[in-house]
């Protein structure tokens, strides 16, 4: 009984840590069998506005349907690519429940990253839409303050840090 209580408290403290963005460090990367993850598709390469896989017809450039597609509630724009404060791109693997670093296709925290509409990780984070350099983009944000997060991979771990940068709406 005591062991079950301790495990429960540990789980709650981990979730609270995620929600508060204090010391958010992910697990090491997992093997990804998709060697082309994060590579531009034909739709992405031909986007004359410098887009990142998003478009207005619901096809976000993921023919296998592996990645979550996020829909802008204020337009027909949808995308499977989410930007951090430094324009680094991540995607969310709906099969493995993992966050995927688009630059090299590495998956982090397999089994953790649930997606529910535009909400991530049980509502701790949210995908919000904005406009930057004339492009409509999706941004990885904190749910509460609606500021864009900074995602970094260092030493094989993914970290998430808060910023004070709001979602741009040029």
C-alpha distances in angstroms, 16 versus 83, 124, 143, 149? 24, 9, 13, 17
pLDDT value, residue 16: 34
**pLDDT-based confidence at 61, cuts 50/70/90?**
low
**pTM of this structure:** 0.68
- Look up residue 80 and give its DSSP letter: S
Report pLDDT digits (tens) over 21-49.
333 434 445 444 444 333 333 333 333 33
Q: Per-domain residue ranges for the chain?
A: 25-161
What pLDDT, on the 0 to 100 scale, is given for residue 64? 63
Condensed to tens digits (0 to 9), the pLDDT of residues 142-158 reads 999 999 999 999 998 99
What pLDDT was estimated at residue 170? Answer: 81
Nearest Cα to Cα of residue 138 among 62, 26, 60: 60
Over residues 49-65, mean pLDDT: 48
The predicted-structure confidence for 90-102, as pLDDT tens digits, reads as follows 999 999 999 999 9
Residue 124 pLDDT > 90, yes or no?
yes
pLDDT in tens, 133-143: 999 999 999 99
pLDDT, the chain, mean: 74
In tens, the pLDDT along 67-89 reads 999 999 999 999 999 999 999 99
């Amino acid at each position: 009984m005591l062991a079950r209580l301790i495990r429960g408290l540990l789980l709650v403290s981990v979730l609270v840590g995620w929600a508060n963005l204090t010391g958010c460090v992910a697990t090491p990367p997992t093997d990804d069998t998709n060697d082309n993850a994060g590579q531009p598709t034909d739709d992405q390469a031909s986007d004359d506005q410098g887009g990142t896989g998003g478009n207005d017809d619901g096809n976000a450039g993921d023919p296998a349907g592996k990645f979550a597609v996020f829909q802008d509630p204020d337009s027909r724009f949808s995308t499977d690519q989410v930007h951090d404060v430094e324009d680094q791109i991540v995607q969310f693997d709906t099969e493995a429940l993992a966050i995927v670093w688009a630059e090299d296709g590495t998956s982090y925290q397999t089994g953790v990253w649930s997606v529910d509409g535009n909400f991530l990780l049980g509502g701790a984070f949210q995908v919000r839409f904005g406009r930057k350099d004339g492009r409509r983009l999706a941004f990885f944000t904190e749910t509460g303050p609606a500021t864009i997060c900074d995602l970094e991979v260092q030493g094989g771990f993914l970290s998430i840090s808060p910023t004070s940068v709001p979602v741009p709406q040029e």
